[in-house]
Chains A and B, each alone.
Chain A
Amino acid sequence: DAGVIQSPRHEVTEMGQEVTLRCKPISGHDYLFWYRQTMMRGLELLIYFNNNVPIDDSGMPEDRFSAKMPNASFSTLKIQPSEPRDSAVYFCASSLGPPLPNYGYTFGSGTRLTVV
């Protein structure tokens, strides 16, 4: 089991550019979550999917952020245009089911995004 795989590990981009973060969940996991981690806000849930369908995107900061899950093995989080305040570590997590015992989240290693 390779775990949750995120790419790239690090991304440095200029303000105004489009950024795409990628995630491959664990095979068989029905839930996929995108979190953002910053100094000020800690770990924030941005959006999550169940069976490839977006369920709750209330944490997405603004229209510059969008997320897709075209199939069970791939999801993207896109920021267009990017701004310096988007600099953070973005985590993807997956789980077999809703948060109950034995259905804990498995997190990827994160993508550290720096917008200059």
Chain B
Amino acid sequence: GESVGLHLPTLSVQEGDNSIINCAYSNSASDYFIWYKQESGKGPQFIIDIRSNMDKRQGQRVTVLLNKTVKHLSLQIAATQPGDSAVYFCAESVPSDDKIIFGKGTRLHILP
């Protein structure tokens, strides 16, 4: 199954290794960032978020890093599992704005 057949950058990672998915965001005024995971046939699902006053935030097996100087966001997944196969989107929001703008996404492929 595909997410509408998106032709996306693909990251292939060996099961058990760590994955790093990168994202360049567009608006220097953005102050809130979110990573979403989209599995085949499903809607995007919230993974982890970070505010612009932080540069790192950790969750369960996931870490988000924020570099505001170069407008770069990354998602690190520790000990990648087959269930991590999905498309991952970064999203950003600016102050006083009620909406989230999504990036293009990266497909994570897990090698056995």
Binding site for B on A (CB under 8 A): 4, 31, 33, 35, 37-39, 42-43, 45, 48, 50, 55-56, 88-89, 91, 93, 98-101, 104-110, 112
Chain A residue contacts of B89, Cβ below 8 A:
42-43
Chain A proximity of B34: nearest CB distance (Å): 6
Using A99-B32, A104-B49 as known contacts, say yes or no to A42 and B105 having CB atoms under 8 A apart. Answer: yes
- A sample of 5 more A-B contacts (CB under 8 A), given A55-B98, A109-B43, is A39-B5, A39-B6, A42-B89, A56-B99, A107-B44
Chain A proximity of B39: nearest CB distance (Å): 10
Main secondary structure of the interface of B (DSSP, over half): loop
Using A88-B4, A99-B32, A99-B93 as known contacts, say yes or no to A104 and B46 having CB atoms under 8 A apart. Answer: yes
Cα distance A109–B44 in the bound complex, in angstroms? 8
**Contact between chains at B100 and A99 (CB < 8 Å):** yes
Using A37-B4, A88-B4 as known contacts, say yes or no to A101 and B43 having CB atoms under 8 A apart. Answer: no
Sample of 27 A–B contacts (CB below 8 Å): A31-B98, A35-B102, A37-B4, A38-B4, A39-B7, A42-B89, A43-B89, A43-B105, A45-B100, A55-B98, A98-B93, A98-B97, A98-B98, A99-B34, A99-B97, A99-B100, A101-B32, A101-B49, A101-B51, A104-B49, A105-B46, A106-B46, A107-B43, A107-B45, A108-B43, A109-B42, A110-B43
For chain B, the bracket of interface size reads 20 to 34
For A3, the closest partner residue in chain B by CB is B43
Using A37-B4, A39-B7 as known contacts, say yes or no to A48 and B99 having CB atoms under 8 A apart. Answer: yes
Chain A residue contacts of B98, Cβ below 8 A:
31, 48, 50, 55-56, 98-99
B112 within 8 A of A: no
Mark contacts of B10-48 with chain A using CB atoms, 8 A cut-off: 1 yes-contact digit, 0 otherwise. 000000000000000000000010100000011111100
- Cβ 8 A contact of A33, one of B3, B99, B103: B99
Chain B residue contacts of A112, Cβ below 8 A:
4
Chain B residue contacts of A91, Cβ below 8 A:
43-44
